[in-house]
Copies of this chain bind each other. A is one copy, B any other.
């Protein structure tokens, strides 16, 4: 079934083309009623685990764990992987929120902050001496800035003694990251997986588990790793294709099905199509009179969320597109009326992207 509107929003976003089919099948199979302790559930969990492992290239030793959201994972990472000090690369509102979580959790959080629209390359950050965890954001949804995978990974190579966390909330599975190298990464399903919100996915390696067990054993007053979704419990359960408490079973089921669909297409093909669509979008923005790419440094331009400065009030552009049933995002926060954001997720096909650009072109003076 094709619905009226197409969402080029950064998440919640356009639903993956097969979403409804899988949802209907789940309803028919009464997946919403089965016990999360049943063999039927374990089979669903295992399928999703295996499909994600294949799609991302996650080593067998690492764990794939489910939470309520990616924001929850920010907190879980900070509680479980940082006893004292974290370091944050900030280039937008979401990487900043990750940092602010650390402050609220009373960690000694260090930061390196860029002006909005600028990103990080490898050789920039100087890591404070006692940093236990480096937090990098692959894709900043608020500014449309990405940090290239090789730059992220070189950061780890220069800091083997520290853990590295990668926020890939609004890009996974597009970034080609080496999960033998980075320690932990996470995403939510309402972005590039084209699902409704309500599920976060947390990938972590054994070094993370070790660290969380060390903090757990500490006798310091009030120092804890959390009680709900602490890493050791999530880890242990995930290895049995289980969760500590009742999870969003339906979304875990559908995520496995969509990951399977993506594996059938091949993640490399999805990445290529994403790049081709991103090129179309940025090529248009480069030549547009009304809209200009807000990220000047080309390698830092996000492949999955393009942000453009608008010469006119961006709500006018959004309204004109809305009249054609195309929904794009406003600028984030203070840039609400001066920018637009266009998500470039797998759910919006080449054809739909062409239609969007054509509609934008017609607005040009």
Contacts and interface: CB of A to CB of B under 8 A. Distances in A.
B4 A247 contact: no
Interface string A94-131: 00000011101110000000000000000000000000
Contact of A35 (B223, B246, B248, B329): B329
A49 interface: no
A91 to B, nearest CB: 19
Contacts of A63: none
A350 interface: no
Of A4, A9, A105, A225, which is in contact with the most chain B CB atoms at under 10 Å from its CB?
A105
Interface in A67-101: 67-72, 74-75, 78, 100-101
A171 interface: no
B27 A23 contact: yes
Interface in A15-70: 15, 19-20, 23, 27-28, 30-36, 67-70
Interface string A182-219: 00000010100001111100000000000000000000
User: How many copies of the shown chain assemble into the complex?
Assistant: 2
Given A75-B226, A101-B228, A223-B222, A69 B30 contact: no
A264 interface: no
Contacts of A190: 32, 246
A68 B27 CA distance: 21
Contacts of A198: 68, 198-199, 247-251
A328 to B, nearest CB: 11
Nearest to A34: B12
A14 B35 CA distance: 11
Contacts of A105: 224, 226-227
A296 interface: no
Interface of A: 3-5, 7, 9, 11-15, 19-20, 23, 27-28, 30-36, 67-72, 74-75, 78, 100-102, 104-106, 188, 190, 195-199, 220-230, 244-251, 327, 329
